[in-house]
Chains A and B, each alone.
Chain A
């Protein structure tokens, strides 16, 4: 089946999967958002523990999605894997460090003799929530702004500045997406709590928080969108592979491939509707609306930067070294073989949804958290 597709069709198929994974990952980062809200949404230790336990049942999904994201990029677009991870060394390591300290914090926070004390593990969660999200936003932003690398004739990467990726923070536009993401994940985190915890004081605080954070989220998100749509985009000729700058390339992609534009628009509307329903109409249902909306928005942005002859990882050192889905992908054989493995993705999503439903149909309550017979974080 897949082996009959052309190499370019397989590259598009895999870019769509990568975009979907990227979208799912940003959605599941509501866990990171929630981690920044532990003090803000609780008034005592029990409430804080309710929040931690609510997130504690989901954090591994995000972690796993991050790992899969790395593995899928390695398999499908190995030149990106070697160029960006090897090149932007410190950005990626910093992101990974924040996830490493996250992974132990849920299990160890309330355990006796945990060496560092509960407060430290809570700080670890906050660091992962703020810094991890922020830096990931900065890393994704370089898909649009570019990075300082060149490739030799073996396709081996050389980073042209010694800051190894941290220089992205010297570009003012690269702050728009990180801030937008931090506020977004806090909003989604709040909606997750509203849905998952049956405790009115927490729900009330979460609604208030969502209102406030939306006021910060919107300007950053709109500024980021405007920057992307109206900036010059890096475009390549599919035959000659020559890369050039094209005014408003990303805007034209939304117009030329309207289905991507539609995904983006639907996603934005779903996010806004969810915020309105959760914050102003006091509904508890909105995690899925905002979740799907987030997946669609992020997916559309990644599709935009990868398809329609667009460079997805520009080199600002020499734009002819930029990465496209055509010059950075795995071979036809590997992409086709991997495509069979990708058929498992709907099945995986199905059992995750089923288990989510099973586990969350009974909401977290104060009684559950204070009872001694249960496993708690």
Chain B
């Protein structure tokens, strides 16, 4: 395997990042709003109150506008592993393809079939069947999130497979290990949680705008009750699942955790930096200050990462250079082992060509022994294992900070709604509106932590991005990058304009 040019790899990454970021502008609202709409319709069916039917239809229209562009931007994600990451697709396709196919069979058809009933079936099927369809759309979209996050979780923590030197790929050994990997499950719960929170913020924020404008005030307040109650529940759930996610990162991706926290020198009883400004001159291994200024919560990182306040949390220096005292292996030794694995694969192929079975077996034994380090064989120097620290650190803190804010917001909104005088609290209403984009900022920041934080790996420890991309002249990827940028941006502007227009038409004013 040869290392591809950095320019090609960077453009391939840029294109994937661009398309994934666009796609994830629409996915969370689909995940969250689908449940909120289903709850609203359930209230309508239970009470028979036409106002609830109008409320349901209003939010459903916004759901559809968002859903269409979510589908459009999602298509490329299914194929982009092949178009731009073909080496990756072969190397792990035997494992990675399965969740994608299952997603198609189990989830996408559920979504697309019952979506049609949800929108066009009001007068064609019974009330009960319509409600059932709305719930199925919600279940379908969340089910699809599960399978794609199983795939993503596997890249972060590859399990349930064995390397086959004959086919030069990893092959699945246990579907259950892949599907129920703790990383995948934590990732799924945290990601759908973020979608639910965005859905709730969306409903609360737009309802706040209506109340400020004194339009559809009764409907807006009702929507707000549903949105804020749902929001409070799911934002607490989001915090809990975030804690579990961080725990999994500590167990399986300690470099990412150290970058998230800006932790250079590992320590026992490590604290969490609640907020800090990184020292831009700081380098791995030097003695400069890590932060220009910071605020630390003592013991919290040890507890978060290892559920033990006395635990040692390795820092970037320990992970790069090793730390004998705590038994942490440095990257240099891992790179050496990786090179042994790569060489063993070459030897295996040569022996196979020569028909020398003894040599093949010997090479294979060595290969399997050093396979866990295979990807390191393609790194040049120990510091290559470190992701962009500033980007990982700041996005992590932005995500966590905003997550805390959302909990506060939902509590305040819910309290004021109960007191029935929220219309008087204009600042709270405005904060609710402003919090809609903040929800998206938090969600995208979370993905940046997850994906930038795991660099240089396409598959943790097994395949760095440098050998994973498709071999293609970089000009092709540059052109497709800009085509995606133009098309998706155009569609996004159209979507926002349509959405704003529908919102301003209000409940009953639209269709």
Contact = CB atoms under 8 A, between A and B. Distances in A.
Nearest to A352: B113
17 contacts: A68-B104, A82-B87, A86-B86, A103-B71, A107-B67, A111-B502, A112-B502, A113-B497, A156-B471, A157-B471, A330-B94, A333-B173, A342-B105, A355-B114, A355-B116, A358-B117, A359-B121
Given A81-B97, A156-B471, A334-B98, A103 B86 contact: no
Given A107-B64, A374-B123, A158 B108 contact: no
A372 interface: yes
A232 to B, nearest CB: 29
A61 B112 contact: yes
B86 to A, nearest CB: 3
A209 interface: no
Nearest to B117: A355
Interface string A347-377: 0100110010011011000000000111110
Contacts of B129: 358
Interface string B146-176: 0000000000000000001001110111010
B68 A103 contact: yes
A67 interface: yes
B98 A153 contact: no
A358 B125 CA distance: 7
Contact of B498 (A64, A78, A111): A111
B112 A74 contact: no
A84 interface: yes
Majority secondary structure of chain A interface residues (helix, strand, loop or mixed)? helix
Contacts of B476: 89-90, 164
Nearest to B491: A104
B124 A341 contact: no
Interface string A312-355: 00000000000000000011011001100110110010011001
A218 interface: no
B121 A85 contact: no
Given A157-B86, A158-B471, A334-B172, A348 B78 contact: no
A162 B104 contact: no
A174 interface: no
Given A74-B101, A111-B498, A156-B1, 14 more contacts: A60-B111, A63-B71, A67-B75, A67-B108, A72-B101, A75-B97, A89-B470, A103-B71, A113-B500, A330-B171, A334-B171, A358-B125, A374-B122, A375-B57
Nearest to A79: B90
A87 interface: yes
Contacts of B81: 74, 81
Interface residues of A, number: 79
Interface string B57-88: 10011001101110111111011011111110
B501 A74 contact: no
A153 B122 CA distance: 57
The interface size bin for chain B is 35 or more
B100 A71 contact: yes
Interface in B91-112: 91, 93-98, 100-106, 108-109, 111-112
Interface of B: 1, 57, 60-61, 64-65, 67-69, 71-76, 78-79, 81-87, 89-91, 93-98, 100-106, 108-109, 111-117, 119-125, 129, 164, 167-169, 171-173, 175, 349, 470-473, 476, 480, 483, 487, 490-491, 493-495, 497-498, 500-502, 505, 511
A201 interface: no
B100 A75 contact: yes
A154 interface: yes
Contacts of B102: 71, 75, 338, 341
Given A60-B116, A331-B164, A352-B113, A85 B101 contact: no
Task: Name the residue in B81, B93, B175, B500 with the highest tally of chain A Cβ atoms < 10 Å from its Cβ.
Answer: B93
Given A70-B78, A375-B511, A78 B83 contact: no
A358 B75 contact: no
B171 to A, nearest CB: 4
A101 B487 contact: yes
A100 interface: yes
Contact of B82 (A66, A86, A337): A86
A92 B498 contact: no
Interface in A45-86: 53, 57-58, 60-61, 63-64, 66-68, 70-76, 78-79, 81-86
Contact of A100 (B100, B103, B117, B487): B487
A39 interface: no
A364 B7 CA distance: 54
Nearest to B475: A162
A227 to B, nearest CB: 28
Contact of B113 (A61, A116, A342): A61
Contacts of A372: 511
A202 to B, nearest CB: 19
Contact of B86 (A53, A73, A83, A112): A83
A114 B497 contact: yes
B105 A345 contact: yes
Contacts of A67: 74-75, 78, 104, 108
A93 interface: yes
Nearest to B353: A153
